[in-house]
């Protein structure tokens, strides 16, 4: 029985696959790859990036899933070996992402190394809320006196680790929301969005 893969797992596999072959965009969000079964005459397969299901557009080679694609594309002797290879690729990609996140986090925390402990704790708190946190919730969760909270906010904004945004709410006063900023190359910061907002 083939392992169950989530949409996130398939996305991780496809991230690895684009290092081997660059897909083209097809209709309805499908990806187009060269057919792994027959190269003559040249034709494509369409692959759904959410499910990993693929179909030969020429109608000659059939259809399958991510495991079948990997098995055929890389000419692996047994299908079970291909299934294990796909699972290993997903694990390796997850590990690379985890290591990159740790490196980014270490760089962010390195920028506040010379700051008091309450500034560091506020940075850890804002990092736990990548989609933003309102000022009221932020201050309640920080458990800091008001003066220290304001000082920490100013310091994090000065070091470009956090951004403040005023959001209009109908019938109420505007609400202030704080977002973490991700360090980009060159030491500059940019707003960090969760996947769903991109």
Rounded average pLDDT over 66-73: 90
pLDDT digit string, tens, across residues 144-163: 999 999 999 999 999 999 99
pTM of the model: 0.68
At 189 the pLDDT is: 45
Q: Where are the beta strands (DSSP E) in 6-109?
A: 24-25, 30-34, 44-48, 54-56, 63-64
Domains of the chain: 7-97 (3.90.580), 114-197 (1.10.10.10)
Residue 183 is predicted with a pLDDT of 56
State the pLDDT at residue 187: 45
Closest CA to 163 of 139, 121, 193: 193
- 44 or 122, higher pLDDT: 122
Nearest to 69 by CA among 90, 98, 46, 99: 46
């Amino acid at each position: 029985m083939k392992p169950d893969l989530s949409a996130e797992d398939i996305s991780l596999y496809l991230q690895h696959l684009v290092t081997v072959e660059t897909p083209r965009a097809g209709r309805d969000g499908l990806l187009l790859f060269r057919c792994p079964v027959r190269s003559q005459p040249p034709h494509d397969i369409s692959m759904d990036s959410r499910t990993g299901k693929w179909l030969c557009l020429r109608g000659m080679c059939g259809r399958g899933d991510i495991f079948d694609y990997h098995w055929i594309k890389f000419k692996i002797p047994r299908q079970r070996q291909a299934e294990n290879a796909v699972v290993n690729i997903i694990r390796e990609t997850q590990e690379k992402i985890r290591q990159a996140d740790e490196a980014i986090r270490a760089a962010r925390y390195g920028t506040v190394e010379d700051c008091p402990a309450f500034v560091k704790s506020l940075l850890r708190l804002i990092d736990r809320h990548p989609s933003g946190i309102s000022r009221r919730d932020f201050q309640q969760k920080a458990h800091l006196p008001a003066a220290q909270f304001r000082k920490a906010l100013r310091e994090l904004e000065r070091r470009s680790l956090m951004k403040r945004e005023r959001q209009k709410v109908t019938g109420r006063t505007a609400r202030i929301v704080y977002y973490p900023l991700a360090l980009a190359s060159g030491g500059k910061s940019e707003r960090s969005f969760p996947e769903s907002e991109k």
